[in-house]
Structure 1
């Protein structure tokens, strides 16, 4: 019985040995390279953010006052040549304004010192990049709104990202060619592509300012960026082969 079992095991191992030999075959060598790419495109528009702020003793009064002030602001902005469809609400909030402690202590009724504020933030889109500074000056000349910030963008955001990805692939291929040549081998099949993120990047930080209303409209020295830069990363993996 034992001899028969040993013979059966030996036969099974003998039959399995070709399969074991196949699984232990040497692994195809590969090279993995991370590529980085950039693309620079001229901006198409500017977004200006302005706010309309009001205060009142009650929420209803603060909201009503803000609504009236916003109507005046919209009329003024459209009077500057901005189309109605290029103005939209970015944020609106009503909040309680806590009075200073010393005023609360002097007041017999804390409700008398309580106020509510309303802030309506508007986004203004303009394609006249050379006139952004003049538009900001006109806004500052109004006592109803406060100029907050300006940023620049592209109509086709994906175009910048795609061009950056193409540049990243070229960069990875260039690096792989250098490594392969230095090692005395050749690049084989491209077997893997791992997509990285493509991010827009402005060459200067978003411009922010909060100023008192000017007595007369004067252009603000805002210089639009010549280009907006996009960056992307990609990881490519090739098989390696012997040089022919």
Structure 2
């Protein structure tokens, strides 16, 4: 091969490589002008179900005595829950523990303390799904009257939350587009193709909690419970390419 031909081939290859590298740089997302925008929207809905955390705590000198007392009381509570119309599929044990109870005693040495076991505690808790909110107050009253001495909280639930959030998703996307167009117009550019859409998870509606104990039913009236409304929020992060 002649030297001139070889030089021509080398030059042609160099040009091809340079053009390819230039095209790659042009398509590199890191070199594309973009705009990121967050869109938000929310819808409100009345809860139609609730989750109740309830249980029995029993103390006694021995673990066996505490277990016997707790089993009797918890059996009565579960029976009352079922009598109130709650199906077995909606009752689930959510916690069970047996633990010693301590008393701290002061030793003869100043500042030194020691502990000794003075008894045992058994705790048994259940999660109850209430599908008819109209009966929630009466159910709480019945559970407490039949031995439940701990009601840890109530979480109100919107059963069709996902379908309701679809409307909020559309509104959140529209909100992001509105703001992106506003900024692009102010900057003298146009929105191009959408590069990414990401929904930021809020973890569902925040539960409305309450605390209650045995004295809540002392006056004989069902506990007043107000479900109110739950806000379902959606936030999306959208990235557009900008056209000059």
Q: Which of the five TM-score ranges fits, normalised by the shorter chain?
A: 0.7 to 0.9
Which residue is equivalent to 1:176?
180
**Paired position in structure 1 for 2:243:** 241
Asked if structure 2 preserves the Cα contact closer than 8 Å seen for 1:54 and 1:65, the reply is yes
**Corresponding position: 1:127 with 2:126:** no
Of 204, 213, 223 in structure 2, the residue corresponding to residue 220 of structure 1 is 223
Unaligned ranges ≥5, structure 1 = 103-109
Q: Kindly tell me: are residues 14 and 167 of structure 1, through their superposed partners in 2, closer, same or farther at Cα, counting changes over 3 Å?
A: same
State the distance in 2 between where 1:156 and 1:89 align: 25
1:206 pairs with 2:209: yes
How many residues in Structure 1 have an aligned counterpart in Structure 2? Answer: 227
Q: RMSD value over aligned CA atoms?
A: 3.1
Q: Structure 2 vs 1, CA of residues 117 and 165 (structure 1 numbering), >3 Å: closer, same or farther?
A: same
8 A Cα contact 1:37 1:164, kept in partner: yes
Q: Could you say what secondary structure the match of 1:68 adopts?
A: helix
> Against the structure 1 CA distance between its residues 93 and 229, is the aligned structure 2 distance closer, same or farther, given a 3 Å change threshold?
same
Residue by residue over 1:31-60, the C-alpha shift from the partner in whole angstroms, topping out at 9 and shown as x without a partner, is 222222323333220112211121233323
Q: Distance in 1 between matches of 2:233 and 2:190?
A: 29
Are the aligned partners of 2:144 and 2:213 in contact in 1 as well (CA < 8 Å)? Answer: no
How far apart are 1:21 and its partner, in Å? 5.5
Residues 1-244 of structure 1: matches in 2 within 5 Å?
12=10, 16-17=14-15, 19-20=17-18, 23-24=21-22, 27-99=31-103, 101=105, 114-202=118-206, 205-212=208-215, 214-226=217-229, 228-242=230-244
Given that 2:140 and 2:222 are in contact with CA atoms closer than 8 Å, whether structure 1 keeps it comes out as: yes
Shift of 1:152: 0.5
Please give the TM-score of this superposition, normalised by the length of structure 2: 0.76
Q: Would you say the 8 A contact 2:77–2:143 is kept in 1? A: no
Distance 1:144 1:197, change over 3 A: closer
Which whole-Å CA distance do the structure 2 matches of 1:139 and 1:89 have between them? 15
